[in-house]
Amino acid sequence: MADWPRFDEDGKQLNEEGERFLNEHTRKGILITNGRDGRPHAVPLVYFRVGDDLYMAGRRRSQRLANIARDPKVSFLVEDGETMATFQGLLVQGDAEVIGDDAEKLRIARAAAEQRGDPEGDWPTTPPPGTLIRITPRRYISWDNSRVQR
């Protein structure tokens, strides 16, 4: 059986299984920010990784960006499975930052293309529209119901 849980003892670094889960799974997750009234605000988004950081698109005038500006502490949930017996997931708790600078967005988009193994001729030459949200992970929490003995 592979390493479990998907992170080291203090929850601050992913192990190989955790890396594989984030890199090879659905590529979609749920961003959870803190609303003005203190209630969680959850939004499904597609993500990509460069190094340990997670990135997702952000519309310039969205509730998630307003929430991040007010409180950068976020969680991002990536889950998989079709039944209770197969549910598994990884919760990334971290600090979010909104990136609007075109040069930085282009640098990140090109780094992501390189990391995916895209040929250099296919790398982006213009920055993605809107903004990017970068999550710098601080802690991981994971579960896998398929490992539970029934």
Name the more confident of 143 and 34.
Answer: 34
**Mean pLDDT computed over 69-96:** 93
Distance, CA of 70 to CA of 66 (rounded, Å): 6
For residue 31, count other CB atoms closer than 10 A to its CB.
Answer: 24
Residue 30 backbone class (left: φ over 0; alpha: ψ -120 to 50; beta: rest):
beta
Task: Confirm if 141 and 90 have CB atoms less than 8 A apart.
Answer: yes
pLDDT for res 81: 84
Distance, CA of 134 to CA of 55 (rounded, Å): 5
128 phi, psi to nearest 5 deg: -65, 155
pTM of the model: 0.88
Task: Confirm if 6 and 18 have CB atoms less than 8 A apart.
Answer: yes
In this prediction, residue 150 has a pLDDT band, given cuts at 50, 70 and 90, of low
Task: Confirm if 58 and 131 have CB atoms less than 8 A apart.
Answer: yes
Kindly report the average pLDDT of the chain as a whole number. Answer: 89
Distance, CA of 72 to CA of 43 (rounded, Å): 15
**Mean pLDDT computed over 105-120:** 92
pLDDT for res 4: 63
**Mean pLDDT computed over 59-79:** 92
pLDDT for res 1: 41
Domain 16-144, architecture per CATH:
Roll (2.30)
Residue 26: pLDDT above 80? no
Residue 11: pLDDT above 90? no
**Mean pLDDT computed over 6-10:** 79
pLDDT for res 102: 96
Residue ranges covered by each domain of the chain: 16-144
Least reliable range by pLDDT among 4-8, 101-105, 120-124: 4-8
78 phi, psi to nearest 5 deg: -115, 125
Name the more confident of 2 and 111.
Answer: 111
Residue 33 backbone class (left: φ over 0; alpha: ψ -120 to 50; beta: rest):
beta
